[in-house]
Amino acid sequence: MTTTKRQLNAARSFYFLGGFGFTTWAAIIPFLKQRLAIPDDDLGLLLLCLGLGALMMMVFAGKIASRYGCRRPLTVAGVLLPLVFLGLCLVPSYMGAVCLALLLGALLGLMDVVVNINGIMMERLVKKRIMSGLHALWSLGNFAGAACFSVLLHFRLSDRMTTLVSSLLILVLVLYFSPHLMRQSEKSTSARLHLPRGPILMVSLICTLSFLIEGSINDWSGIFMTTEKAVPMSQSSLGLTLFTASVFVVRLFGDALASHIGARQILLASLPIACLGFCGLLAGTSPWLLFSCYICIGVGCANTVPLFYSFLGRQRLVPVTEAIAASTIGYAGILVAPAVLGYIASYSSLYASFALVTALLVVMYVMVWHITCHREFQ
């Protein structure tokens, strides 16, 4: 196997680990809440700490990658990740869990930024589009993490033993693949942190809106289906399952489609499909029509972020490390969505929340139309 092939497999594995790690945390939460008897409001603060840790690290992750390359930060984060998961299963107090949540958020935030920098460097090396395929591996890891917990718990393993198995799997993959990660990274032109401007700011906003849309589906789709559409509880998670499955499948073919028909054409054609999906959710009543709408949303939104990351790898306005760090802060959209949409729903309804998301999707389409006129996006 050639060096480039090993590096590409290593890049894929760390995208998989990012999705696997995020789902592992989600699977641990109910057991942590029960063991420490955490009230709902305190649990919300704990979840917020994860987001705060991630955002604080994302601000500096680009500089870290610029100074130390991609291999060392990803290896350190990957080795510490299973230790934190095991710590969450053993922590005796709520404050200890808060500290671990901050640390876990920082590790996931560091991985999110650096793995995308590494992916862009790989895309430059192989001289073809691979970002959609790499992000498909994140979706696959997300699914695998949930499946791993479900299967092991089904066989009556305790939550601690299940977390141990998942942690050992993460550690083995990290130790096996990390030596093949790209050592170097693009150097930053300045030691100072810079706020994104111009096209980079536009891309950051688009990524934020894209992640906010994803967050709205992840956190509120089940509640929306049961409370607003009278779908039985037993079917409440089907919409989210169809959404994640469609995102994974479409990302598998995203690179090939972008190479043949162009990234701009894909985005301008797919985002209206997502908008149609949201309109169907608001107006539809048939359960199968509603579930089809989740597929439309997944198909329409799947390749937005990967294609813009490819754009950031080709632009020459700022170093890649700074551009990716700025755009990855858009993950704040996933963290902001639950609180904002919940606040609106508490004063109005989830219809109003999802109507706002639909309007933001239209705004994002206008921004995409504008930024994709940039010559380096073609």
Please indicate, yes or no, whether residues 175 and 260 belong to a single structural domain of this protein.
no
* pLDDT of res. 98: 93
Residue 178 DSSP label: G
Please indicate, yes or no, whether residues 87 and 202 belong to a single structural domain of this protein.
no
pLDDT at 185 over 70: no
Please indicate, yes or no, whether residues 90 and 234 belong to a single structural domain of this protein.
no
Main-chain phi, psi angles of 269, to 5 degrees:
-90, -30
Please indicate, yes or no, whether residues 175 and 46 belong to a single structural domain of this protein.
yes
Please indicate, yes or no, whether residues 112 and 148 belong to a single structural domain of this protein.
yes
In a domain, 274, yes or no: yes
Our count of domains for the chain comes to 2
Please indicate, yes or no, whether residues 274 and 235 belong to a single structural domain of this protein.
yes
pLDDT at 337 over 70: no
How many beta carbons lie within 10 A of that of residue 132, not counting itself?
A: 25
* pLDDT of res. 129: 87
| Higher per-residue pLDDT: 342 or 210 | 210
In a domain, 185, yes or no: no
Dist. CA 170–CA 108, nearest whole Å:
13
Last residue of a domain, one of 123, 146, 180: 180
Please indicate, yes or no, whether residues 326 and 271 belong to a single structural domain of this protein.
yes
Burial 155-176 (b: 16+ CB within 10 A, else e): eeeebeebbbebbebbeebbee
In one letter, which amino acid is 206? I
Please indicate, yes or no, whether residues 119 and 174 belong to a single structural domain of this protein.
yes
In a domain, 323, yes or no: yes
Residue for token pair 């992916």: 119
* pLDDT of res. 318: 72
Please indicate, yes or no, whether residues 117 and 251 belong to a single structural domain of this protein.
no
Say what percent of the chain tops pLDDT 70. 88
Write the pLDDT tens digit of every residue in 244-263: 889 999 999 988 988 888 88
CB 125 within 8 A of CB 3: no
Q: What CATH number is given to the structural domain containing 19? A: 1.20.1250.20
pLDDT at 119 over 70: yes
How many beta carbons lie within 10 A of that of residue 322, not counting itself?
A: 24
Write the pLDDT tens digit of every residue in 275-334: 999 999 999 888 889 999 999 999 999 999 898 888 877 777 777 777 776 666 666 666
Please indicate, yes or no, whether residues 270 and 361 belong to a single structural domain of this protein.
yes
Tell me the average pLDDT across 82-99. Answer: 93
pTM beyond 0.85 = no
Please indicate, yes or no, whether residues 121 and 212 belong to a single structural domain of this protein.
no
Residue 187 DSSP label: P
Q: Which domain holds residue 335?
A: 198-377
Average the pLDDT over each of 103-107, 144-148, 182-186 and give the range with the smallest value. 182-186
Q: How confident is the model at residue 191 (pLDDT cuts 50, 70, 90)?
A: very low
The dihedral region occupied by 120, where left means phi > 0, alpha psi between -120 and 50, and beta the remainder, is alpha
In a domain, 294, yes or no: yes
